[in-house]
Amino acid sequence: MPKDQKAIRSSGWKTDFLIGFPEGLLLLFFTTFLSQGLPVTVQQFYTINSCIWVAASLLVMFTAFQANRGDTQHDESSLSPEERQKLERLNISDPVIENIAAEMEKDAVQWEETLRTAHVEERHFSFGVAIRSAIVTGMFFLIGGLLPLLPYLQDENFPAAASRSLLICFLAMTVFSFIKAKMTSQSAIPVILRNLAYTGAVGLGAYVMLTIFR
């Protein structure tokens, strides 16, 4: 991607936290709750969830890096010569092509105005910043994933550990939702209730799948 292109990118550790932490929390909540009820040994449980934890963190890091690179397909605010040639080969008249170009420029102006109104900044691509964002996002993912996994590491009585993991996940999501509301200047109660509903849905999904696989 050319370095002079601008796009919406990670604005720092806050964005990385808001993305990485809940994904790690919910994914490991799902996989640990599901696998603890399956006919697997303790070592198999640890191996399966550790591999998912690490592999998913790498995937999140790669996704965060790609997101910071942006998408050149949508970065152009004007009709490129190559696109103009493609339209000409389709026998589209010059007035229509000029109208398309004018509409693209108009849309670009409106998009920039929307970003200014929402106080969202477009930034040039920086490889170093993208790498840093990927690493920080991955770290927050690992921290989030550790919380539901920790009770199982402390206690091999998985039914009891599952209850503590459930409690930890709901408490962690409540705290996260409150912090997110403050960071994004939203009302805390709706954010907390919405994210607790997501957490409950993940737990319910794991329970239903466990019931099916048993």
Burial call 133-161: b when 16+ CB within 10 Å, e when fewer: bbebbbbbbbbbbebbbbbbeeeeebeeb
**Continuous segment of H or E residues that includes residue 8:** strand 6-8
Q: Residues 184, 190, 191, 192: what is their CA dihedral angle, to the nearest 10 degrees?
A: 140
Q: For residue 1, is it within any domain?
A: no
DSSP 123: E
What per-residue confidence (pLDDT) applies to 97? Answer: 77
My answer on whether 131 and 194 are in the same domain is: yes
- Strand, coil or helix: what is 122? strand
Q: Which pLDDT score is estimated for 160?
A: 94
Q: Please, how many CA atoms are within 13 Å of residue 34, restricted to the half-sphere of its CB?
A: 19
Residue 38 falls inside a structural domain: yes
pLDDT digits (tens, 9 = 90+) for 98-138: 887 777 777 766 756 654 554 445 556 678 778 888 999 99
List the domain range (segments joined by +) for residue 30. Answer: 6-70+125-213
Same structural domain, 61 and 20: yes
What are phi and psi for residue 124, nearest 5 degrees?
-70, 150
Amino acid in position 184: T
pLDDT of residue 172: 97
CA angle at 129 for the pair 123 and 130, rounded to the nearest 5°:
90
pTM for the complete prediction?
Answer: 0.73
Of residues 51 and 9, more confidence is placed in 51
Distances (CA, A) of 171 to 25, 31, 180: 11, 18, 14
Among 123, 146, 161, which residue terminates a domain? 123
Q: Are residues 87 and 191 in the same domain?
A: no
Task: Write down the pLDDT at residue 70.
Answer: 58
- Give 39-83 pLDDT, tens digit per residue: 999 999 999 999 999 999 999 999 888 877 754 444 455 667 777
- Residues 65 and 114 occupy one common structural domain: no
- The model's pLDDT over 151-182, given as tens digits with 9 standing for 90+, comes to 999 999 999 999 999 999 999 999 999 999 99
Which residues partner with 123 through β-bridges?
A: 7
Report if residue 166 sits inside a domain: yes
Q: Residue 80 is encoded by which pair of tokens?
A: 């490129």
The domain tally of the chain equals 2
**Does one domain contain both 33 and 80?**
no
Q: Is residue 181 part of a domain?
A: yes
Q: How far is Cα 161 from Cα 27, in angstroms, rounded to an integer?
A: 17
In this structure, what are the phi and psi dihedrals at residue 162, rounded to the nearest 5 degrees? -65, -40
pLDDT at residue 146 above 70?
A: yes
Residue 205: predicted pLDDT: 94
Say whether both 40 and 138 belong to one domain: yes
60: nearest Cα among 135, 129, 146, 125? 135
